[in-house]
Chains A and B, each alone.
Chain A
């Protein structure tokens, strides 16, 4: 009998848990540890943030699903990994602290034979003074944050209805943020809501981003084939900004946020202030705070984790200039070096470097989007590691691992630009691979599969994905037929 422990119940952790349960016999146990009692389809938080969906539409309780599927569940946060066990037991262990109302603060040491770290991000609002729901800006990173963002947005719309101009800023709250796509979506949904409310002409809408170019999305932009001509994601997204009258500020690092003022620096080193009445700024992500100890209790956190808090895996972490970055630098198996029973997937793994070219302002401020590793790639990683573990259990430690490099896999990014079955629209993009490979493709990606389209159909796709992935996450009949 083997015990598999999964830390995190987001897209990658939950996907891994469901596939492991499907692949392993009943004699093996699969257990999930997550501080959250609910699963959240995060891409739809955008719609909660503009009031087009309620919180209940994007979350559901995990416990009943895990009970039905015979998956163990601890509502707790992992605080330490002991990969070589402790003085009492040489099996690996994870120390957890419960977050459920009935056991808050209680601790336990859980043993494992195989461990998947899918802990996702720590939202580092503290990286920028005054940012976040406890400060002066909104967020859509969680369903609760999105509910709050919508409440603030409604108040601004009411003020606009009195004829008072308002400035709305949406973007990235730090030079090293990721998830630019979420801010892109939110700014156009806000624009859409303002138009629907008939107050767009009184609103100044600004997209404030750490991207050096529009359409970069933290993946170094894309080159599309459009009607026989190459076009860039920069011109393509620029067209939407121009059409909608949304202003854009590029290469920005937010230093501080006061009650009504954002202080930021741009790539040329100049510093500026931007007055606002409503601001939604995405925070930078870090790894969740996890310590690691050897069997004697010595701290080995630096051995397992990068300084960012993300777990080291089978990537090439050698520091080298942008020009020498290669597709092979990216991990394929997600196994932790030196451990044949620990993996990190989704946001939890440490990327070898950025995807977009990192830049510094003359003041030395790093303004470089971090690589996105959410959504489709997260799910694929979770399933891949689940298959590796299932094969190891079935065929022994010599079973070849399954692989899924972000430099080989594709992703779809459907960025909503407004809702409504006949009035909605979205920028629907596909890219293959996620990490450009200039050795294989002149534009870095397969031109046949890398496309961008704007239109109503994009909204339908995003809506379809919402219902499909909620169905899949609830593990209803045939869930495994829905691809990651």
Chain B
């Protein structure tokens, strides 16, 4: 079941997705996404996850 559905704007126009139910990131989240030391840790974690997946799921 789709959580973000299309709606036609009042007064016509293209049908577009109503994004009002999509969560907006907080200021803290936006800052975290740009924080270099934190992002470096996420970079390492993501690379390890890819490697684990390669070992687990490729063959």
Contacts and interface: CB of A to CB of B under 8 A. Distances in A.
A457 B4 contact: no
Interface in A444-484: 449, 451, 453-458, 460-461, 464, 483-484
- Sort A-B residue pairs by CB-CB distance and give the 8 closest, nearest first: A238-B22, A457-B43, A410-B53, A455-B33, A410-B57, A242-B19, A457-B42, A457-B39
A69 interface: no
29 contacts: A212-B2, A214-B4, A234-B4, A235-B23, A238-B17, A241-B22, A247-B16, A248-B16, A249-B17, A250-B6, A251-B6, A384-B59, A404-B59, A409-B58, A422-B34, A428-B46, A430-B46, A430-B50, A430-B53, A451-B49, A454-B33, A455-B33, A455-B39, A456-B33, A456-B34, A457-B40, A461-B43, A461-B46, A461-B47
A460 B43 contact: yes
A422 B53 CA distance: 28
Chief secondary structure at chain A's binding surface: mixed
Contacts of A460: 39, 43
A449 B50 CA distance: 9
B28 interface: no
A49 B1 CA distance: 34
A213 interface: yes
B58 A456 contact: no
Contacts of A454: 33
Interface stretch (A60-68, A146-154, A266-274, A284-292): A266-274
B36 interface: yes
Given A241-B19, A404-B58, A460-B43, A235 B4 contact: yes
Contacts of A461: 43, 46-47
A457 B46 contact: yes
Nearest to B57: A410
A483 B54 contact: yes
B10 interface: no
Contact of A235 (B22, B35, B39, B50): B22
Contact of B59 (A248, A251, A402, A425): A402
B19 to A, nearest CB: 4
Contact of A232 (B3, B16, B39, B42): B3
B25 interface: yes
Given A235-B22, A238-B17, A449 B58 contact: no
Contacts of A423: 34
A173 interface: no
Nearest to B20: A242
A430 B25 contact: no
Given A402-B59, A457-B39, A249 B34 contact: no
Contacts of A308: none
A128 B42 CA distance: 42
A270 B15 CA distance: 10
B42 to A, nearest CB: 4
Contacts of B23: 235, 239
A235 B25 contact: no
A461 B45 CA distance: 11
Contacts of B21: 235, 238
B42 A453 contact: yes
Nearest to A213: B2
A380 B39 CA distance: 29
Contacts of B19: 238, 241-242, 248
Contacts of A266: 6, 15
Contacts of B56: 410, 432, 449
Q: Give the residue among B2, B50, B54, B57 with the most A Cβ atoms within 10 A.
A: B57
Given A248-B16, A457-B39, A242 B22 contact: yes
A247 B4 CA distance: 12
A124 interface: no
A206 interface: yes
Interface in A401-416: 402-404, 408-410, 412
